[in-house]
Amino acid sequence: MLQNASLVPFPKLLLYLSLLALLAASPAWAQNAKIVYPHRVFWHKSEVNEIFDRKVGPGYLGVGFDFVYRRKNVLNEGSMFRAPLRESFRPWLHYQFSQYARFSVSPLGYMNTNEYVGKPEDLLRAPFQEWRTTFQFFHHIKQWEGRIMHTWRYRYELRWQEQANASDYRYFNRFRFRYRIRAVLKGEDFYENNMIYAAVSNEIGLNIGKNVVYNTFNQNRLYAGVGYRFLNSVRAEVRYVNRYRTRGATGLEFDHGQGLMIGLYIDQLSGLGKEHTRSVRFTD
C-alpha cells in the first residue's frame, strides 16, 4: 500500500528540509553583481472544492475555485498591508484517480497585479492583467499510520501577460514543482476532524519559451506553518512565506518577499459539518 511505503526517515527528512529552508531564506546564493529588494508581504488564499460521488472510469470528477489576495509594503517601509499586490480568480476541473492522486485543469484564470516597489522607479509601474491556463498533477503518500503526509505537486502554466505600452500580450510558459510534508500534531490522521498539523513546503518555478531570455529561474517559495481542520472538511492555515523572484529582463535583480499567509480551504463542500464522508478523500 502507498501509505506504508518506505521513505527517508522522518528526522533525516526534517534535516534536509531545514537545510533547504536556510538556502531559500538567505540572499547569499545571489552573486554580488545581483541586487535583491526586500519586501514585507501578506498573502491570503481561499479554495472551495467538490468531488462528485458518481464514479467515472477508475476515479471521480470534481470542480473547484480559488481566490488569491495579496498586499505589500512600499520601498520596504510601512505595514505589509500598505499597498495591493495581487488578486486572482481560478476555476478548476478535477479528476481524482484515488485517495493518493489527482489531475486538475484551470481552463482560464484571471490575475491583476501591482508589482513590488523596491526602488523609486517602481512607483511608475502600472498594474497589469494576466490570463493563465494551468495543468496540475499531485500525488501523496502517508507514513506513521497516517500522521505524516508527503505531497508532490507539478504545475505547467500557459501565461498571457499584459505589457506596458503595447497592445498585445506576452506569452510564455512556467513549470512549477513543489514538495510538502505535513505532520499531525493533535489527532490520529490528517482527515480527522479537529486535527492540528504542521506543514513545510518548498516550490521552484522555471520560465519556459522563446520570450524568456535571462530569467529561466522564476522564483522559489518556502512555506512553514500550522493548520486546523474543523467542520470535517474545512482547513484553516497560518503560514510564514519566504519568496525569491526574478524581476525585469536582465537577470540581475530579485525581489525577496517575507511575511504572513492565511489560507482557508474547503476540501469537500458537501462534507461541511458531516461526521463521515466517502472513502475517496480530496485534499491538496
Residue 252 lies in a domain: yes
pTM for this prediction: 0.85
Domain of residue 166 covers 2-271
- What whole-number distance in Å separates Cα of residue 43 and Cα of residue 67? 11
Cell representation of residue 6: 518506505
Q: pLDDT tens digits, the chain, 284 residues: what are they?
A: 344 444 445 555 555 555 555 454 444 444 457 899 999 999 999 999 999 988 898 899 999 999 999 999 999 999 999 999 999 999 999 999 988 899 999 999 999 999 999 999 999 999 999 999 999 999 999 888 889 999 999 999 999 999 887 788 989 999 999 999 999 999 988 888 999 999 999 999 998 887 776 668 889 999 999 999 999 999 999 999 999 999 876 678 999 999 999 999 999 998 888 776 555 566 66
Please report which residue ranges of the chain form alpha helices under DSSP H: 10-25
Residue 284 lies in a domain: no
Residue 211 lies in a domain: yes
Read off the CATH number of the domain in which 255 is found: 2.40.128
What total number of domains does the chain contain? 1
